[in-house]
Amino acid sequence: MLVQLIANGLANACLTALMATGFALIYNTTRIFHLAHGSVYVVAAYAYYAAAQYLHWPQFVAVTFAVAVGTFVGCAIELLAYSPLYRKQASTTIYLLTSFGLYIALINTVALLFGNEVRVFPTTQQSAVSLGPVLLTGIQLLEVATSIVVLAPLMILLRKSNWGRLIRAVRDNPTLASTTGVNLASVRRFVFAAGSALAGVAAVLAVLDVGADPQSGLPVLLIAIVAVIVGGIGSFGGPILGSMIVALLQSIAIWQISPKWSQAITFGILILFMIFRPTGLLGIRRRIEEVIE
């Protein structure tokens, strides 16, 4: 029973890892707490649903469309909302309130267009595979496979490529980076695009698994944020580790206590980490300005 729970948790962990990595990419580099990331997820989910269900586009096109829409929305938010705030040197509170506002406006716009009910694809044959004592559906295997295929190269790129080095430089010290000629605006746009694309991928997988729900953005994002904090702020690999741990803890909680308390327990863990180990398990990087106070 526990093993099955863990296996289910693993599939969820992969979705969380995609969202968490996207969120962390944005937060580490820009220090913006991009709560509207949850609405990017929802918009991409419905883009996929509409493309596949209403427009009957082939799978590949629909998926690409959804990821593109997600990326577009994320970049639009950065361009139209966050950039002006950056120029005004707005406080974190203002960014947060703006992000909340965007989230609410976007998910309710989606609900206006598609309705508040959860939209699921008409049930197609769900193939299930047994690996030892565990039964996994085709979708769950797809989730695991996709996240590996997407995240592994990303991690390598972040560590080895030029872009990766630029991003890490901005993460560590944006002022220094900009004086050495790094174009902060392009780096910002890039991480928003990449992060939003990851949300798009997660959204498509989730729609295939459980359907599209306009209210799902915040819960999914919050679990991702827990993963980021547990795994380590400032680290790019941390969110992946965090996702695994959160999924594991949730499985244990479901097994030992009860599914209905799993959300409360997850947030309890978040709060404990924020109090006792705010930099998470892998993260240590903090900007110089943050050390003195």
Partner 1 sequence: MTYVWHLGVMVSLYIAVALSLNLVIGESGLLSVCQAAFYGIGAYASTLLVMKAHWSFGASIIGTLVFASLSAICIGLPSLRLRGDYFVLATLGFQIILYSVLYNWADLTNGPNGIPGIPPPRVFGIELASPYRYCTASFAMAAVIGGFTLVIVRSPFGRLMQAVRDNEVAAASLGKNWLLVRLTAFAIGAGLTAVAGAFYAGYARYIDPTSFTVMESIFMVSIVVVGGAGNFRGPAVGAVVLVLLPEGLRFLQIPEAIAANLRQVVYGMALVLFMLFRPKGIAGKYGFD
Closest approach, Cβ 25 to partner 1, in A, equals 16
Q: Is 92 in the site for partner 1 (CB under 8 A)?
A: yes
Q: Which of 21, 98, 216, 243 binds partner 1 (CB under 8 A)?
A: 98
Q: Is the separation of the CB atoms in 204 and 13 below 8 Å?
A: no
Q: What is the 3-state secondary structure (H, E, C) of the chain?
A: CHHHHHHHHHHHHHHHHHHHHHHHHHHHHHCCCCCCHHHHHHHHHHHHHHHHHHCCCCHHHHHHHHHHHHHHHHHHHHHHHHHHHHHCCCCHHHHHHHHHHHHHHHHHHHHHHHCCCCECCCCCCCCEEEECCEEEEHHHHHHHHHHHHHHHHHHHHHHHCHHHHHHHHHHHCHHHHHHCCCCHHHHHHHHHHHHHHHHHHHHHHHHHHHCECHHHHHHHHHHHHHHHHHHCCCCCCHHHHHHHHHHHHHHHHHHHCCHHHHHHHHHHHHHHHHHHCCCCCCCCCCCHHHHCC
Q: Which is nearer to partner 1, 93 or 124 (CB)?
A: 93
Closest approach, Cβ 146 to partner 1, in A, equals 28
Q: Which is nearer to partner 1, 165 or 277 (CB)?
A: 277
- Report d(CA 263, CA 267) in Å as an integer: 6
Q: Is the separation of the CB atoms in 26 and 37 below 8 Å?
A: yes
Number of residues that bind partner 1 (CB under 8 A): 40
x-or-dash string of contact with partner 1, 256-285, rule CB under 8 A: ----xx-xx--xx-xx--xx--x-------
Closest approach, Cβ 113 to partner 1, in A, equals 9
Closest approach, Cβ 228 to partner 1, in A, equals 10
Q: Which of 222, 248, 252, 281 binds partner 1 (CB under 8 A)?
A: 222
Closest approach, Cβ 57 to partner 1, in A, equals 26
Q: Which of 105, 128, 152, 176 binds partner 1 (CB under 8 A)?
A: 105
Q: Which of 112, 118, 148, 149 binds partner 1 (CB under 8 A)?
A: 112
Closest approach, Cβ 7 to partner 1, in A, equals 25
Q: Which of 4, 33, 138, 252 binds partner 1 (CB under 8 A)?
A: 33
Q: Which of 45, 63, 102, 191 binds partner 1 (CB under 8 A)?
A: 102
Q: Which of 218, 248, 252, 281 binds partner 1 (CB under 8 A)?
A: 218
Q: Which is nearer to partner 1, 22 or 65 (CB)?
A: 22
Q: How far is CA 161 from the centre of its chain?
A: 22
Instruction: By CB under 8 A, name the binding residues for partner 1.
Output: 33, 81, 84-85, 90-94, 96-98, 100-106, 108-109, 111-112, 116, 218, 222, 225, 229, 260-261, 263-264, 267-268, 270-271, 274-275, 278, 293
